[in-house]
Structure 1
């Protein structure tokens, strides 16, 4: 389904930045030179494999389409991250749930509209899901069976996670915390800091360090703090205050550190500015150019997540609270390892994240959620027939809900969003419109001769226009279509394009 969707949509907003950075990286230039390089990752270099193979077969091949064909071909390789994630969900679920139930979390993941929408996009979101799911699985394996291959794979994956998405550096805190919680349950605190555990932690830290440095070719890995030219006030102040360490090598590659500095600088500037890399945070009619909203992911998720998943998650949360406060039988390794990342990342992204520009940022937590849902449904205290009925209703509901957005999964909203046209007034970011339908305005006009593109001059007629342009989400651009905000669109096309039929101009024009 994701592969058929690839051919139906435009190149999305961030894809050119990702693939261009990956191209420079493959040529040995890992430095971050453009503003949009702040969050880019080498891991998407696999998107260039089709072009590399083609170039090997025919060295003379050239395209004059500004890289569009390379991006479209590279999208199919990005599906590999979804496949890897699904495979890990399957093997983990089979061990936790058994043969009969192991496919449920896999199906929930693969048929999630968010996953369908982003599986074929050149970016770091699905890569984050693959790396995190694999890392949590091997941590679980290591804590259960104490095999060295699992700690090696876990360490490699944590290093890859750190260069895939910057907020995944939290894994360096979360993984030891999970290990500590598990040890606390089984042995108490007395032996946690044993010689074996300390040596294991040092070995793991060394692997993570090597992966991070090798990923950026050890570029500037031994530069001192004083040699850096930072942009953000946070890093500049750190450089000025830490004079004792100023001459010491940081032991991390310059592009890795520079990425955090650039992110902090862009947060400092705020959204909607000429030098900004994002438009600001918009949710439920509210906007903020410098900070996020603590309820952002809840507010967007309540309209973007499938309603059956929301209801089951709510019921599961109630059951969990019951076990916590009354039965105290919830403290199991699998629950800790699945719940703790959701709680910690959910808290950090909600309260300390100024870049709340799309629900895609929590895709990497979906595997944990769906395995938890599988565990919850399996252990429901109801008869087998009732479970079959529940799963049948869930499957039919999911199918009907998703089918309504066939090949337009990015714009998916659930049944709580009754007015699909005005939903962009509530969710005005990449959660609905990631630039995937921009060319469809012209296609719609070609198919409907009575429509035309709107312009800055108020006029009568029928218009098709990108909704985010009417709402003036990008404050750094002129407000060309502000006059259309005096009118209500009568419909939409593909969820992101508003349709107007203006018969009379208002007195406000």
Structure 2
């Protein structure tokens, strides 16, 4: 029986991979893909210092996207070598990591709630349009989502079973996450909060019983493991950036943003201390902060309103409402309701805390302390955790009556139809709360809708309609073609004001 289970797993993963491959065929590179690929290639060439001006998101992990090109260099001239050298091939690396992520969604859900739950979570993953969309791109969103999820899984294993081997696996994955995307630094806060929730009853009991030696021993264990995780992370961060000017004092950095300049100037003594970090690692947050301060990243946009440099509180809640399939939203809400009703049958501090503490902390951060709001992709790390938890809905699948099973099947069918109806345009997916798809730009834009992925379709349209006027910046009459981001004013909003008004 178990053999059939694993065959079914492989079939779903193969179907997901096929969907990703065929849906990306005619999609042009998005705004950031060539930058990520270029930096990844420079890392492989031994140069971590070549940061691209204005893009503070570039990280060493994208060297994996350029790895096929490096492998191709070792081969004789052939069609296969040309395939490996093609930048488009780098997209397949991201797809493979999406399959790895899908597997761990299945694995974690299965270990928590059983095989039916594992498959349920996997199917929800396979038909999550936002995950599909970014699984096909040379960016770091899926890499970060994958590594953060797997890091939390192995942290759960480490806390549950203990041992230095599991600690090493967990610490290594957390360290690798730090060279994938800067938001992964939140893992440290998440893990600290999980430990507090997990062990606070033991600590409170020790305080009540005045077991000072026990409390000191627990504190010693926590400190020892925390230092171990820190050392491993520092080594991996430095290795990822090729130890580029490691131990440079803060005073010798050339920062662009006021935020980092203030830190540099107000910490005169501390600024002389050599930092155990590579210089490019801090240049990224500085670039990002500078973009936020100057508005160079573009305007935040929601419901027809643009803001810069201010952002919209709760932006990602709205993005979630309109861009996550309604069926998935219902499944998650039902799983929360069922969990609360049967709360005593679960063990939150030992299991679900590893899902919900990261979900809550990450959601609070991106919704209430944002610096950039350019797409739902920034919230992707919580998606796998929500889908894993949704598996709890099927924990007692064997006891479900026929009517309940049919209801779940119908809701899954609705999910499949909704998602496939957008093929191959998954980046611009909006659910049925937006009945007229042409009007989606009135709700959200930027990488929620248009990120440069449809330039080939645009060229085909202009070839078929040669009289169409492309991106006019002054009032014109006739058939006008304009990108959604230009129309709503993500960049240079004055150019298309005449069209909006």
- Tell me the TM-score range normalised by the shorter chain: 0.7 to 0.9
**Alpha-carbon separation, structure 1, partners of 2:182 and 2:227:** 22
**Alpha-carbon separation, structure 1, partners of 2:286 and 2:435:** 42
For residues 50 and 435 of structure 1, do their structure 2 counterparts lie closer, same or farther at Cα, with a shift above 3 Å needed? Answer: same
C-alpha deviation, 1:51, in angstroms? 1.7
- Which residue in 2 is equivalent to 1:343? 360
C-alpha deviation, 1:149, in angstroms? 2.2
- Which residue in 2 is equivalent to 1:112? 128
**Alpha-carbon separation, structure 2, partners of 1:229 and 1:454:** 38
Unaligned runs of 5+ in 1: 271-275, 487-509
2:500 counterpart (475, 482, 485): 485
For residues 317 and 290 of structure 1, do their structure 2 counterparts lie closer, same or farther at Cα, with a shift above 3 Å needed? Answer: farther
- Which residue in 2 is equivalent to 1:220? 245
C-alpha deviation, 1:483, in angstroms? 3.6
Contact kept in structure 1, 2:258 and 2:290, CA below 8 Å: yes
For residues 347 and 299 of structure 1, do their structure 2 counterparts lie closer, same or farther at Cα, with a shift above 3 Å needed? Answer: same
2:91 counterpart (51, 60, 75): 75
| TM-score (structure 2 length as normaliser) | 0.88
1:289 corresponds to 2:308: yes
Contact kept in structure 1, 2:194 and 2:354, CA below 8 Å: yes
- Which residue in 2 is equivalent to 1:495? none
SS for the counterpart of 2:301 is strand
Higher helix share: 2
2:413 counterpart (388, 391, 396): 396
C-alpha deviation, 1:450, in angstroms? 6.7
1:298 corresponds to 2:317: yes
- Which residue in 2 is equivalent to 1:50? 68
1:441 corresponds to 2:458: yes
**Alpha-carbon separation, structure 1, partners of 2:298 and 2:399:** 48
- Which residue in 1 is equivalent to 2:401? 384
**Alpha-carbon separation, structure 2, partners of 1:210 and 1:419:** 51
Q: How many correspondences in the alignment?
A: 474
| TM-score (structure 1 length as normaliser) | 0.86
Contact kept in structure 1, 2:117 and 2:393, CA below 8 Å: no
Kindly indicate whether structure 1 or structure 2 has the higher relative contact order, using CA contacts under 8 Å at least 6 residues apart.
Answer: 2
1:39 corresponds to 2:54: no
SS for the counterpart of 1:163 is coil
**Alpha-carbon separation, structure 1, partners of 2:409 and 2:47:** 52
C-alpha deviation, 1:187, in angstroms? 5.7
- Which residue in 1 is equivalent to 2:226? 201
C-alpha deviation, 1:382, in angstroms? 7.5
C-alpha deviation, 1:49, in angstroms? 2.3
- Which residue in 1 is equivalent to 2:174? 158
For residues 340 and 380 of structure 1, do their structure 2 counterparts lie closer, same or farther at Cα, with a shift above 3 Å needed? Answer: farther
- Which residue in 2 is equivalent to 1:497? none
- Which residue in 2 is equivalent to 1:331? 348
Alignment of 1:138-177 (within 5 A): 138-177=154-193
**Alpha-carbon separation, structure 1, partners of 2:222 and 2:349:** 21
For residues 321 and 291 of structure 1, do their structure 2 counterparts lie closer, same or farther at Cα, with a shift above 3 Å needed? Answer: farther
SS for the counterpart of 2:54 is helix
**Alpha-carbon separation, structure 2, partners of 1:284 and 1:331:** 37
Q: Which runs of 4+ in 1 moved over 6 A?
A: 327-330
Contact kept in structure 2, 1:292 and 1:350, CA below 8 Å: no
2:485 counterpart (468, 482, 490): 468
Aligned Cα RMSD in Å?
2.7
Unaligned runs of 5+ in 2: 1-18, 207-214
